[in-house]
Structures are given as structure tokens and as C-alpha cells.
């Protein structure tokens, strides 16, 4: 039996696997949970991050508006399914104009470490790199230095320090729709200077052959870190984004212990296959209930909406081990 190390979330959004469904990850039957026009000026709301907050949930949402500017908005929910997203985008507090000039931001992740919530996102600074901010209350967000030089994407922090350092996964990339990419891990004593860069993994299977990138904040298990990630296949009609899963070493999480060969979810419903960018399932967050082993994954659907999918930690870990390679 695999054990999640973390909080109990008795109100985690949840649906049992439908009768007859054999999938390791199954979808919420009322997907998408956030529609593209949930805000007056939104073109699309997708690749977004949620966490537990007070007696409900909070999140940071990727909103592309009807000018197609990419912005970040906070939101709150009682049940993790129905969201109240702020119409105004987040304005980060930052006293260094070199950093605070917000041009675009997308694909946020939110990670609670010790006493505050850290937001990381793909932030424009002469090209995409990883922005970092923190908040205690989802009211005021304090922006820190960007983690890396451009070009980088998919910056995902670990929920605890290891060896005295903050840890972040990322995917060095290029200026545009990068046709390559491995996952790396970097470490920092102070969230300003990042180093001790380690290679974590490269694309392996056909479904992820073009590039891979970390998804939700890694989930701590008794035997390691459960990392859900996206992998990209280049088909004759363009990129196809699916979800994969691996287990990283607990103390040296740049070492991969197990990695599932098959994807755990790939785009095949209408809302994943039809939208602004067809064939995209892009996970950015997961809630994990230490009590029951339930995991709820939030993912962007076709760069247009937010979907929810479920799995059970025992079954997923067993699937990864059975299909290791």
C-alpha cells in the first residue's frame, strides 16, 4: 500500500471510477469544470493551479483574454469544482522595475511551503522564463527574482526543502514552440540563486517523444515523490499533449525510481480534442488526500478550458511499477 505524506482533504472533489472503466485516470463526468468564457473578457481559461485554502480551495488561473493577452487571476472555491475567479488579473508587488514589468504570464503552479503559498509561472523576461511570487492570503502576491535565464518553462517547486534547499523542476526550452525538452531539477538556499542543476529525465516513449515537462507539485509518498508530467508527441497534425507519471527518489529527487511507459491520460474527449489548440491535456495541479489516497488532477483541455480527473494512489503507483521502463 502506498501512503501519501500530507494533509487529509475530506472535501477533495471526487467521483468513483465509472463502472466498466479500466483507465488508471478517469475524468469528472461534468468536465470541463471551468468554461472558456467564465469571465466577461476571457477567450480561454486553462492550465491552472489549485491548492487547499482555509476550509476550501484557492487557485491561480491562466486566463487568455479577448486580446489574447496571457494573464494570471486568483480564484476561490468551496468544493474545488465551482470557482469564483477574480475578473482582475493579479498585480504582483515588487520593488524592482526590472522584474515587475509584467508582459505576459502563463501556466501557473502553486506550492505551499512552510508558511506560504509560492506561485511559479512562465514569465516573460526577454523571452519565457520562470517567475516566482509568494502569498499568504491570495490577496497580496510578492514577486521575487525570476529563477532562471530565458528560455525556460514548467517551473514546479517541491513542497518541502530537501538538504536545506528549495527545489524546482523545470524544462529549459527555446523562444517559441520548443521542439525538444528534458526535465531538470535546480536547487536554491534562498529562492534567489539557483544551482546544483541535475538532469531528471528525457523523453522516452512515442507519446512523449518531442518533449516533457513537470505538471502538478510532486506528491510526497512514503517511498518517493509522485511526479505527474506532460509529454508531447509530434503528429502530422501538430503536437499532442498527454499525461505521464513517475516516482522520484525521496532524498535525491533527480533520480527516477520508476516511470510508467504508457501515458496515464491522453486527449480523446471532445473538449480535449477540440479548442484553440486541439489534442492537449496539460496537468498543472493535483490535490492528494492522505486519508483515502484519492488524487484529483486539474488539467488544461485543448488550451481552452479546465478539466478534472481522478486516480487512487495505490492503483497509480502499482500501474507505474507494473509498467516501469
Residue position matching grid coordinates 524592482: 96
177 binds ligand BMA (CB under 6 A): yes
Cβ proximity to ligand BMA, 24 vs 280, nearer residue: 280
Q: Find the part of the chain contacting ligand BMA (CB under 6 A) among 160-168, 249-257, 267-275, 277-285.
A: 277-285
Report the site for ligand BMA in 110-139 (rule: CB under 6 A): none
Mark residues 62-101: x for contact with ligand BMA by CB under 6 A, - for none. ----------------------------------------
Query: CA–CA separation, 140 vs 29, rounded Å?
Result: 35
Least separation in angstroms between CB 282 and ligand BMA: 4
Q: How is 18-84 classified by DSSP, letter by letter? A: PTT---SSEE-TT--SB-TTSSTTEEEEEEEEEEEETTEEEEEEEEEETT--EEEEEEEESSSSS-E
* Three-state secondary-structure class, residue 313: helix
Interacting residue with ligand BMA among 118, 158, 225, 282 (CB under 6 A): 282
* Three-state secondary-structure class, residue 272: helix
Return the ∠ at Cα 287 (arms to 22 and 172), rounded to 5°.
95
For ligand BMA, which residue has the nearest CB? 277
- Cα 29 to the center of its chain, rounded Å: 21
Cβ proximity to ligand BMA, 12 vs 309, nearer residue: 309
Q: What are phi and psi of 138, to 5 degrees?
A: 60, 20
Non-local (6+) Cβ contacts of 117 within 8 A are 51, 53, 58, 110, 111, 134, 135, 136, 138
Mark residues 226-265: x for contact with ligand BMA by CB under 6 A, - for none. ---------------x------------------------
Size (the chain), residues? 325
280 binds ligand BMA (CB under 6 A): yes
Interacting residue with ligand BMA among 31, 303, 308, 313 (CB under 6 A): 303
107 binds ligand BMA (CB under 6 A): yes
300 binds ligand BMA (CB under 6 A): yes
Q: Given the rule CB under 6 A, which residues bind ligand BMA?
A: 47, 106-107, 177, 241, 277, 280, 282, 300, 303
Amino acid at each position: 500500500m502506498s501512503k501519501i505524506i500530507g494533509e487529509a482533504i475530506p472535501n477533495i472533489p471526487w467521483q468513483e471510477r465509472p463502472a466498466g472503466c479500466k483507465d488508471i485516470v478517469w475524468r469528472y463526468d461534468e468536465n470541463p469544470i471551468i468554461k472558456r468564457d467564465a469571465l466577461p473578457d476571457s477567450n480561454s481559461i486553462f492550465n491552472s493551479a489549485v491548492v487547499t485554502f482555509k476550509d476550501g480551495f484557492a487557485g491561480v488561473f491562466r486566463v487568455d483574454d479577448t486580446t489574447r493577452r496571457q494573464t494570471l487571476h486568483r480564484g476561490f472555491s468551496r468544493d474545488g469544482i465551482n470557482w469564483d475567479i477574480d475578473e482582475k488579473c493579479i498585480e504582483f508587488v515588487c520593488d524592482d522595475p526590472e522584474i515587475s514589468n509584467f508582459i505576459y504570464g502563463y501556466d501557473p503552479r502553486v506550492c505551499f511551503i512552510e508558511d506560504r503559498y509560492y506561485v511559479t509561472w512562465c514569465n516573460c523576461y526577454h523571452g519565457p522564463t520562470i517567475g516566482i511570487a509568494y502569498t499568504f492570503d491570495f490577496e497580496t502576491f510578492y514577486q521575487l527574482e525570476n529563477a532562471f535565464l530565458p528560455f525556460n518553462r514548467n517551473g514546479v517547486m517541491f513542497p518541502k526543502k530537501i538538504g536545506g534547499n528549495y527545489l524546482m523542476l523545470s524544462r529549459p526550452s527555446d523562444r517559441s514552440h520548443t521542439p525538444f525538452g528534458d526535465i531538470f531539477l535546480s536547487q536554491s538556499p534562498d529562492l534567489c540563486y539557483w544551482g546544483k542543476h541535475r538532469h531528471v529525465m528525457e523523453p522516452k516513449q512515442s507519446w512523449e517523444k518531442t518533449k516533457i515537462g513537470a505538471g502538478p507539485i510532486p506528491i510526497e509518498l512514503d517511498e518517493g515523490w509522485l511526479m505527474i508530467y506532460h509529454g508531447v508527441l509530434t503528429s502530422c497534425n501538430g503536437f499532442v499533449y498527454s499525461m505521464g507519471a513517475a516516482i522520484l527518489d525521496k532524498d535525491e529527487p533527480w533520480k527516477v525510481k520508476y516511470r510508467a511507459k504508457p501515458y496515464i491520460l491522453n486527449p480523446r474527449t471532445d473538449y480535449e480534442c477540440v479548442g484553440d489548440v486541439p489534442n492537449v491535456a496539460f496537468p498543472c495541479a493535483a490535490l492528494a488526500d492522505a486519508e483515502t489516497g484519492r488524487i484529483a488532477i486539474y488539467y488544461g483541455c485543448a488550451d481552452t478550458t479546465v478539466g478534472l480527473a481522478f486516480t487512487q494512489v495505490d492503483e497509480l503507483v502499482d500501474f507505474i511499477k507494473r509498467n516501469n521502463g
